[in-house]
Structure 1
Amino acid sequence: MHFLDRPASPLNRRQWAQWTAAACAVAASEAAAQSPAAPDSQRTLAVAQIADMSPGQQDVSRDFLVGSRAAWQDLNARGGIRGRSVQHITLETDGTSANLQAAWQAAQRQPGCVALSGCVGNAAAAGLVALQSSGGASPPLPLIAPWLHNAVSESEAETVFEVFPDHQVQITHAVKTLASMGVQQIGVIFATAQIKQQSQGYVAQAAQGMGLQTQILPLPGSGGAAAKQLSNPAQTILLFLGGTPELHDFASKLVTPAGRQCYVVALADVNLQVLAQMGGTAKGTSIIATQAVPLVTSSAPIVRAYRETLARLYDEPASPQGLAGFIAARYTAEVLGAISGPVTRVSVLSTLQRRTDVNVGGFSVAYQGKRRTNAYVTQSMLTPDGRIVG
């Protein structure tokens, strides 16, 4: 587990990765030195972000983390929360449950830490939801804007506050878009058996509602006739559920007959920028990624702020995952700034549980009861010649 604080100067991706590797545990010792008995105006105000940097998740987590880091750095440069800087504590994990639990416990031990914000990717966020529900911390750290595939239950929503549309909403949007194009049948590929178990019901429900026929293709890695069916599917429209590495492996093996175009529709865990850098997408194949945030080319104030801050602080291209991390941090800051009294775990949790509608630069977060009532779902496309449109 890596325990990191934010850098003080602009970094490109390579420099940032080198810095984070060298800075492990520095913030932990500094935060531990703060006195919990100090007046509220003098106490360190901190938020923790847990990021899964395992090979299957790092393409999403890395951009998400850069977006959040940029938001907190920009906020502090503009005066922080009512004049108080916010310490952004980053805990990187390796994808194991033991490492995740250690990171969660480390965040709980920080006396100035008032929330978990923008925890990413899905496995880590889902694991944190389970840890929150175990009742092992009192008072609990609110879990704000996690990157989750599945919506939380009523009881989990007491301490977990969703901002981004889950897989069910994304799948419904993707299927609805395909149905509106006059598509009659699509092929569906699940990257793993676990994803198939989690999402097959959502796909079937959405397709049935749109009068769309689906054919579930074999799992990637299958041999014999199944492998041929995967590399040369009969359908021209394919729905892929999995991450960037799995999609790259699948798409690079597609065989598209001359004169035929194939479209692969993926969900928000796919990073088109990384996919374009990896190359190897089959000729005649376009990748359409359904995103959980506005388009990065949008004129919405939050998107403009993200692009401008990223350009100023980091040598990074804008990405939907980075925008999501930026939004997660800005939403958290809005919540903290709305608290009139002392900012503590209890006051942050109490404020969040009221679920007041918040507009973050044109990105609206609204609830009915404990359920989010709005969802931004957009789509971008990676063309066969490597251009990203949208």
Structure 2
Amino acid sequence: MPDNHPPAGLARPAIRPSPRLARRQLLAAAVSLPWLGLGSARAQEGAIRIAQSTALTGPLGDLGSAMHQGAKAAFAGINARGGIHGKTIELVTQDDTYDVPKALANMTQFLADPGTFALFNCMGTPMIDAMLPKVVDSGIPFFAPFTGAQLSRTKSARNVFNIRASYADEAEKLVQHLSTIGIQRIGIVYQNNSFGKEVFTAAKQSMDRLKLPEALTVTVENNASDAGTAAAKLAGGNLEAIVIGLAGKPTLEFVKAFRAIKRGVTLYALSVMGTPATVKALGADATGMAISQVVPLPSNAVMPVVRDFQAAWKAAGATAEPSHLALEGYINARVFAEALQRAGRNATRAAFIDATWNLKKWDLGGFEIHATTPDRNASRFVELTLVGRDGRFLR
């Protein structure tokens, strides 16, 4: 190979671009490669480190991975534009495989590190339930936990900031829709755990308020061993629609069992059921299902926030199909950055927490954030989607 180095003792003269040219090159890098842009140039000014425990692998790894990738795309774009007050946002993520002991170990590690500014978008009702006591005692910001359960929405926990609409909000939306289109004969199947009971309670309260006839109800155990029995009972109930308060394996087993016995009854489920993996696993049995969503359709480019998300997703080099969960992760990251911006230069945790509660009727391009009290989520956005024949969601 030829030797391209100059002879010993002769140094090549340094060729420096003009200041104007250098800045133009830096801006070009920021546009084409967000993770190499102005954020990197200013990294020496410091970074805000936030930590996340989520499922990147395991039974719900597709959910956690999608939200994580959406958040990463948002932060990459923010850092490329100079970060927040000249500081980049660094997201440190540990995989807990949707396992409570692993999530607790991750949390303990994060809390022991004085450089951890906040916990961000940690996932799963059981994990969050286990984390909350230490998190609340520590005072660290616990931002956008991924659960619709009421357990994370408590009046005394001001450092816990929930964004996504609750399971109760979703169940109420489903029942309101059924009432609006004149459906009277409704069944409810719900998981025999705290999640399922929360969905059932909210649906029943909504039905009572709307003066709908009492629903035919059944439960399914977490291992789905009685899914077939539950499906048979509802199939014999002469129903027009069924509200499904199930997640994971019980959803798959119940829907498949019910469709095998009876068709023509519309099935209504919550956002936790509507993951690409679940829809794919159900195949044709998912077609025609109505599913509530807590963020807009990720292909609905009419909405500015969706257009921004699509641009960030593309710039980050993501190859997966953009999903509701990826958009939710993106929105969570954008809201975090807005609160950090409002907290001021060299923000403390206390200033950041104050800033989150000052997010009043803030419009993120068609998605409103309105913080009121810790027992209420900052978003009430819920819309219904249908699963099309190709497995895609339609409005």
Which TM-score tier does this pair reach, normalised by the shorter chain? 0.7 to 0.9
Alignment partner, residue 269 of structure 1:
272
Alignment partner, residue 31 of structure 1:
none
- The question of 1:377 aligning with 2:382 is answered yes
Whether contact under 8 Å (1:61, 1:121) holds in the other structure is: no
Q: Take 1:126 and 1:154, find their aligned partners in 2: how far apart are those partners?
A: 15
Q: Take 1:225 and 1:42, find their aligned partners in 2: how far apart are those partners?
A: 62
Structure 2 length-normalised TM:
0.79
| Matched letter for residue 319 of structure 1 | S
After superposition, the CA RMSD in angstroms is 2.8
Task: Point out where structure 1 has 5 or more consecutive residues left out of the alignment.
Answer: 1-8, 11-39
CA offsets per residue over residues 248-283 of structure 1, 9 Å max, x none?
A: 22222223678x522111111123422332244438
CA offsets per residue over residues 89-136 of structure 1, 9 Å max, x none?
A: 112213333222211122223333211222223333333333323x1x
Alignment partner, residue 295 of structure 1:
297
SS in 1 for 2:353: helix
Moved more, 347-356 or 160-169: 347-356
Moved more, 220-229 or 48-57: 220-229
Q: Take 1:70 and 1:288, find their aligned partners in 2: how far apart are those partners?
A: 29
Alignment partner, residue 185 of structure 1:
185
From 345, 352, 364, the equivalent of 2:356 is 352
Whether contact under 8 Å (1:358, 1:365) holds in the other structure is: yes
Aligned length: 347
Residue 375 to residue 344, structure 1, CA distance change in 2 (3 Å): same
Alignment partner, residue 16 of structure 1:
none
| Matched letter for residue 135 of structure 2 | Q
Q: Take 1:189 and 1:87, find their aligned partners in 2: how far apart are those partners?
A: 42
Q: Take 1:332 and 1:71, find their aligned partners in 2: how far apart are those partners?
A: 10
Cα distance, 1:227 vs. partner?
Answer: 5.4
Match runs of 1:275-354 below 5 Å: 275-282=278-285, 286-298=288-300, 299-312=302-315, 313-354=317-358
Residue 212 to residue 52, structure 1, CA distance change in 2 (3 Å): farther
Q: Take 2:231 and 2:291, find their aligned partners in 1: how far apart are those partners?
A: 24
Moved more, 249-258 or 83-92: 249-258
Residue 255 to residue 223, structure 1, CA distance change in 2 (3 Å): closer
SS in 2 for 1:331: helix
Residue 308 to residue 245, structure 1, CA distance change in 2 (3 Å): farther
Cα distance, 1:209 vs. partner?
Answer: 1.2
Whether contact under 8 Å (1:145, 1:164) holds in the other structure is: yes
Alignment partner, residue 52 of structure 1:
55
Q: Take 1:256 and 1:178, find their aligned partners in 2: how far apart are those partners?
A: 24
Q: Take 2:161 and 2:283, find their aligned partners in 1: how far apart are those partners?
A: 38
| Matched letter for residue 189 of structure 2 | I
Residue 296 to residue 48, structure 1, CA distance change in 2 (3 Å): same
Whether contact under 8 Å (1:165, 1:292) holds in the other structure is: yes
- The question of 1:389 aligning with 2:379 is answered no
Q: Take 1:257 and 1:215, find their aligned partners in 2: how far apart are those partners?
A: 17
CA offsets per residue over residues 200-256 of structure 1, 9 Å max, x none?
A: 221210111122231112424228855532566632311111224432222222236
Whether contact under 8 Å (1:126, 1:148) holds in the other structure is: no
Whether contact under 8 Å (1:52, 1:124) holds in the other structure is: no
Residue 130 to residue 199, structure 1, CA distance change in 2 (3 Å): farther
Whether contact under 8 Å (1:295, 1:379) holds in the other structure is: no
Alignment partner, residue 19 of structure 2:
none
Cα distance, 1:384 vs. partner?
Answer: 4.7
- The question of 1:364 aligning with 2:368 is answered yes
Alignment partner, residue 140 of structure 2:
141
Q: Take 2:227 and 2:243, find their aligned partners in 1: how far apart are those partners?
A: 21
Alignment partner, residue 29 of structure 2:
none
Moved more, 72-81 or 329-338: 72-81
Alignment partner, residue 156 of structure 2:
155
CA offsets per residue over residues 305-361 of structure 1, 9 Å max, x none?
A: 112222332002121111111100110011111222312323322333445443323
Higher CA-based Rg: 2
SS in 2 for 1:146: coil
Alignment partner, residue 164 of structure 1:
164
Alignment partner, residue 103 of structure 2:
100
Identity %: 21
Whether contact under 8 Å (2:305, 2:364) holds in the other structure is: yes
SS in 2 for 1:347: helix
Q: Take 1:94 and 1:373, find their aligned partners in 2: how far apart are those partners?
A: 27
Q: Take 2:391 and 2:345, find their aligned partners in 1: how far apart are those partners?
A: 51
Residue 83 to residue 364, structure 1, CA distance change in 2 (3 Å): same
Higher strand share: 1
Residue 250 to residue 369, structure 1, CA distance change in 2 (3 Å): closer
SS in 1 for 2:93: strand
CA offsets per residue over residues 291-316 of structure 1, 9 Å max, x none?
A: 11122233221111112222332002
Q: Take 1:198 and 1:344, find their aligned partners in 2: how far apart are those partners?
A: 36
Residue 130 to residue 212, structure 1, CA distance change in 2 (3 Å): farther
Q: Take 2:154 and 2:134, find their aligned partners in 1: how far apart are those partners?
A: 14
CA offsets per residue over residues 21-78 of structure 1, 9 Å max, x none?
A: xxxxxxxxxxxxxxxxxxx974431111221356443332221111111111222222
Cα distance, 1:189 vs. partner?
Answer: 1.1
- The question of 1:255 aligning with 2:259 is answered yes
Whether contact under 8 Å (2:185, 2:238) holds in the other structure is: no
Alignment partner, residue 86 of structure 1:
89
| Matched letter for residue 250 of structure 1 | F
